[in-house]
Structure 1
Amino acid sequence: MKMNQVMDLECEDKDVGLEELRWIHRHKTGALLKVACTAGALLGGASDKDVKNMEVFSESIGLAFQVADDILDCTATSEQLGKTAGKDEAVNKTTYPKLMGMDGAKKEARRLVDEAHKALEPYGEKARPLLAIADYIIERKN
C-alpha cells in the first residue's frame, strides 16, 4: 500500500491512463479496505464465496472512494474538506475528472457503488450497514 501511495504521488505532472490510475488505487485504498473486509469475513467463518463477495465489495468501494475524493477536490472548498481544495489540479495530478470529465467521474463512482451493492445482494437486510457505508462514500461532502 505504501508503494502505491508513492506511485500515486509520482503521477503528479505525468500523463497516466485510466487503467493505470485504477491499478494504483486498487492497490492503495482498495487494498486497505480489502484487508479489513476480508479479515472480518474470514474471522467470522465466512465461506469462500462470501469472502469473494467481500473482496468485490471492498475493491469497489475503495475505487469509489478515490473517484469521490477526486470529485470533491474539484468541487468542494478548503473549508468543507478540511484540507486544501484544488490541490490535484495545482500539481497536475491525473484524476478521474481529468480523464473522464466530471459527469463521467460521477457516473463511474455510482457504477462502482452499484457493483458493491450487487456483491452483497445475496445477504439482503444483513448487508444494510455495509451498503450504507458504500452510499455514503459517494454522497459525502468532505
Structure 2
Amino acid sequence: MKTISGGTASLLALLSPVRPLVVCALLFMVLDFVTGVAADRKRCRTQGRHWAFESRKAWKTLYKLTFATTGIVMTWTIDRYVFPFATLNLANLFTGFVCGVELWSYLENAAEISEHPLFRWLQQYMKRKIDNQLNDSTDDLRK
C-alpha cells in the first residue's frame, strides 16, 4: 500500500506544473455542462416534453474531462521532456483549444437559455475572429 500511495504522490508531484491548465479546462467543462443541462431543460419545456436528468450525459462529460486531462498531460510531457529545447507550448495550445470549444458551447447554451441577442452576437463575433485568424494563418503558410 505504501508503494501505491508513494507512486501516486510522485506522479502528482511530477504533474503539478500542469494543474492550472487542468483546472481551467475543468472549469470550462463544468460551466458548459451546467448551462447545457439548463438549456436542455428549457428546450424540453418549450416543446412541451417531460424533462429528466440523464446520467449518460454526465458520463459523457466525465469521459470528455478525462480525455482532455490526458491530452493536457501528454502535450505537457512533449513540451517538457521530448522537446525541452523548443518553446512549443503545446499544452497551452491544447488547453486553449479545449477551453475555446467549451466557450463556444457555453455561448450557444446561454443564447438558448436567455434568448438574449448579446450571446448570439458574441457567437457571430467569435466565429468571424476565428475565421479571420485561420485565413491569416493559412495565407502565412502559403507564402
Bucket of the pairwise TM-score, normalised by the shorter protein: 0.3 to 0.5
Q: TM-score, normalised by structure 2?
A: 0.32
Q: Based on CA coordinates, which of the two structures has the bigger radius of gyration?
A: 2
Higher helix share: 2
Q: TM-score, normalised by structure 1?
A: 0.32
